[in-house]
């Protein structure tokens, strides 16, 4: 019998019930140790252990410790209280307290490799290391002081960009790029270039092109290569090479793409070997079932063989033998390790996207040096390098803002930052796009905000009269802000400006 989810789920539940009954019977003679929750006896005997928070926790008592999802901690007492462990942050022993055991798990090797760079927390230590990596890379990237003009119709952005970029050599694209939107006034001193990368990102992810699809992970809107792109368009490989160049150019010219790819995507771009944990992103249901099989006895009761039911690109059902005569070899507890290795290897290496990634990598590494990228960056680093972050730290933004004609204690400035704090995240991102032309922020924060190829802090300039709307100069990361004295008027004007003004450019 081949691996079929529906046919084995009931059997799995029966085995779970039997195992639970056995555990209950064992507990009658061997009582569970106090505080023994989720961790086995060996783990409880450890004097300290590295754990990772699986959920956010907000402390409501003085002796509790806040947790962020993905944060690493050192546990110093597993049995501090019933259901609670005691420990401190991995990088700060002074920040300590108790936290629920159910919200942490023992770290594995992969967690430590990506330390400080999980989806929901970026530590100061990680920022420092990441900044060093970027500096190392950029020392090898030299923009020639010659201009290459890219002519584009905004309404035909993808095709015009394809023609302009693919008809030029990699060396020409390493010159200083100047974007010219045909039929629009405006001189590109950096703002139009950022606008281009922001908008081409949307086109790359456009479902009408069928080049990418949403990841199998239902909890995200991350994109992966669409294996069926070859069916949709015979020229798909040329487009993937183009997209690879776009990605390389974004890094080379210090821009960000407003698009989210999965970590699997970045691992493949880096030619990194995929592991069992990556199966969760490729096939979450199979990952869950294989993980259960790995951690439980009773494989014989599932009636599995070394074969796998799957579908081809046209939806036709077929059976794949994982080894010779696999359909006649029963999976048992003694050989399930081999079975798991074979099924994981098959699922991770048969995703029908090898040609697409070959084209992507060809375009990408035509622009940026593969030796530097492979040596310096892991998949999380590469993600942050290419797309930055869109979680806005308002304190960091305010701290790294320059003023012209204003002081920090002027009522207009006080009201401006109050307004930003009162905005929801959607309006904060609109404001960021309005001011900078991009929705992303460097991982290292607003202190490294780019403008015209160099660090250019966000600026608020006192200009205009009270009837005017705020105006943006995205080339210089600047907002011209009239001296409104009323918070309500400032908020109304700013909301109108960021709603109406996104995508427009003022001449300097």
Q: Running DSSP on this structure, what letter comes out for residue 385?
A: H
Confidence of residue 36 (pLDDT cuts 50, 70, 90): very low
Of the chain, the percentage scoring pLDDT greater than 90 comes to 34
pLDDT of residue 258: 86
CATH architecture of 276-349: 2-Layer Sandwich (3.30)
pLDDT at 454 exceeding the cut of 70: yes
pLDDT at 156 > cutoff 70: yes
Which residue of the set 230, 303, 419, 475 is catalytic? 475
Mean per-residue pLDDT, 159-180: 94
Q: Kindly report, residue by residue over 49-64, the tens digit of the pLDDT.
A: 788 887 778 777 777 8
Query: What CATH number has the domain spanning 394-500?
Result: 3.30.2410.10
C-beta of residue 405 within 8 angstroms of C-beta of residue 462: yes
Mean pLDDT of 25-48: 38
Q: Give the relative orientation of helices 236-252 and 354-365 as an angle to the nearest 10 degrees.
A: 40
Report, as an integer, the average pLDDT of 117-132: 72
Q: Which residues neighbour 61 within 8 Å (Cβ) at sequence distance 6 or greater? A: none
Q: How far apart are CA 317 and CA 297, in angstroms?
A: 29
How many angstroms separate the Cα of 37 from the Cα of each of 104, 160, 334, 441, 459?
11, 59, 29, 40, 52
- Is the model's pLDDT at 376 over the cut of 90? yes
pLDDT exceeds 70 at position 433: yes
d(CA 136, CA 450): 17
Measured CA to CA, the distance from residue 191 to residue 436 in angstroms comes to: 7
- Confidence band of 121 (pLDDT split at 50, 70, 90): low
According to the model, what pLDDT value does residue 453 have? 64
Specify the pLDDT at position 246: 97
What's the pLDDT at 316? 73
Pick from 389, 425, 436: which is nearest to 130 by CA? 389
Rounded Cα distance, 197 and 259, in Å: 10
pLDDT tens string 458-471 = 999 999 999 999 99
Q: Which of 99-113, 234-248, 310-324 has the highest mean pLDDT?
A: 234-248
What is the pLDDT at residue 116?
Answer: 45
The answer to whether residue 15 scores a pLDDT higher than 70 is no
- Work out the percent of the chain whose per-residue pLDDT is above 70: 82
Return all residues near 465 (Cβ < 8 A) that are at least 6 apart.
482
Which range among 17-21, 316-320, 394-398, 500-504 shows the weakest confidence by mean pLDDT?
Answer: 17-21
d(CA 210, CA 218): 19
Question: Is the model's pLDDT at 338 over the cut of 70?
Answer: yes
| pLDDT at 166 (0 to 100) | 96
Q: What is the pLDDT of residue 324?
A: 92
**For residue 503, which phi and psi values (nearest 5 degrees)?**
100, -5
Instruction: Classify domain 33-118 by CATH number.
Output: 2.30.30.40
CA distance 396 to 1: 58
> What's residue 183's pLDDT?
87
H or E stretch covering 199? helix 191-204
Mean residue pLDDT across the chain: 81
Confirm if 379 and 310 have CB atoms less than 8 A apart. Answer: no
Q: Which has the minimum average pLDDT: 125-139, 187-201, 207-221?
A: 207-221
Q: What is the pLDDT of residue 252?
A: 95
Contact 66, 96 (CB under 8 A): no
Give 390 or 53, the one with higher predicted confidence: 53
Residue 501 phi/psi, 5° resolution?
Answer: -95, -10
The pLDDT, as a whole number, for residue 440 is: 78
CATH class of 138-271+354-387: alpha beta
Tens-place pLDDT, residues 279-307: 877 788 888 888 888 888 888 888 889 98
Which among 42, 45, 37, 59 is positioned nearest to 104, based on CA atoms? 37
Residue 293 CA to residue 279 CA, distance in Å, equals 14
Cα–Cα dist 108/104, whole Å: 12
Cα distance between residue 390 and residue 445, in whole Å? 11
Band the pLDDT of 117: cuts 50, 70, 90.
Answer: very low
Give the separation between CA 71 and CA 251, rounded to whole angstroms.
28
Cβ pair 442, 449 in contact under 8 A: yes
60-81: pLDDT as tens digits: 777 788 888 778 889 988 888 8
Residue 419 annotated as catalytic: no
Q: Domain extents for the chain?
A: 33-118, 138-271+354-387, 276-349, 394-500
Which residues of 312-452 form beta strands (DSSP E)? 317-321, 401-404, 450-451
In contact, 107 and 50? CB cutoff 8 Å:
yes
Residue 103 has a pLDDT of: 85
Q: How confident is the model at residue 17 (pLDDT cuts 50, 70, 90)?
A: very low
Task: Find the largest Cα–Cα distance for the chain.
Answer: 83
pLDDT at 441: 82
């Amino acid at each position: 019998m081949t691996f079929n989810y529906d046919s084995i789920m009931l059997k799995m539940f029966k085995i779970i019930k039997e195992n639970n009954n056995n555990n209950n019977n064992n507990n009658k003679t061997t009582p569970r140790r106090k505080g023994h929750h989720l961790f086995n006896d060996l783990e409880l005997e450890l004097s300290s252990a590295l754990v990772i928070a699986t959920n956010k926790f907000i402390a409501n008592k003085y002796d509790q410790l806040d947790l962020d999802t993905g944060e690493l901690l050192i546990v110093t007492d597993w049995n501090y209280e019933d259901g609670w462990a005691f420990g401190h942050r991995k990088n700060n022993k002074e920040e300590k307290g108790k936290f629920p055991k159910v919200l942490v798990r023992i770290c594995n090797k992969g967690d430590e490799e990506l330390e400080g760079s999980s989806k929901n927390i970026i530590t100061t230590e990680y920022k420092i290391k990441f900044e060093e990596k970027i500096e190392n890379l950029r020392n090898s990237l030299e923009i020639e002081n010659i201009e290459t003009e890219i002519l584009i119709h905004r309404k035909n952005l993808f095709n015009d960009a394809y023609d302009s970029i693919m008809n030029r050599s990699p060396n020409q694209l390493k010159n200083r790029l100047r974007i010219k939107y045909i039929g629009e006034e405006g001189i590109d001193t950096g703002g139009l270039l950022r606008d281009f990368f922001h908008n081409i990102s949307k086109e790359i992810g456009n479902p009408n092109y069928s080049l990418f699809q949403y990841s199998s992970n239902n909890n995200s809107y991350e994109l992966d290569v669409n294996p069926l792109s070859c069916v949709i368009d015979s020229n798909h490989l040329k487009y993937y090479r183009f997209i690879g160049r776009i990605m390389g150019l974004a890094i080379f010219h210090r821009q960000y793409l407003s698009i989210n790819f999965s970590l699997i995507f970045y691992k493949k771009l880096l030619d990194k070997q995929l592991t069992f944990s990556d199966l969760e992103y490729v096939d979450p249901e199979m990952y869950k079932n294989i993980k259960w099989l790995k951690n439980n006895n009773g494989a014989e009761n599932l009636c599995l063989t070394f074969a796998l039911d799957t579908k081809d690109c046209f939806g036709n059902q077929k059976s794949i033998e994982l080894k010779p005569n696999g359909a006649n070899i029963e999976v048992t507890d003694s050989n399930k390790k081999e079975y798991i290795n074979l099924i994981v290897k098959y699922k991770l290496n048969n995703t029908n996207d090898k040609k697409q990634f070959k084209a992507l990598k060809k375009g990408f590494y035509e622009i940026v040096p593969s030796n530097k990228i492979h040596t310096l960056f892991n998949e999380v680093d590469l993600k942050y390098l290419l797309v930055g972050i869109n979680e806005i730290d308002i304190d960091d933004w305010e701290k790294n803002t320059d003023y012209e004609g204003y002081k920090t204690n002027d009522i207009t400035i006080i009201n401006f930052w109050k307004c930003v704090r009162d905005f929801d995240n959607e309006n904060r991102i609109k404001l960021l796009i309005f001011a900078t032309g991009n929705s992303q922020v460097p991982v290292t924060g607003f202190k490294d905000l780019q403008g015209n190829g160099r660090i250019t802090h966000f600026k608020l300039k006192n200009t205009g009269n009270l009837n005017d709307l705020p105006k943006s100069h995205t080339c210089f990361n600047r907002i011209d802000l009239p001296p409104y004295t009323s918070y309500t008027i400032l908020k109304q004007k700013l909301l109108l400006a960021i709603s109406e003004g996104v995508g427009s450019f003022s001449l300097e």
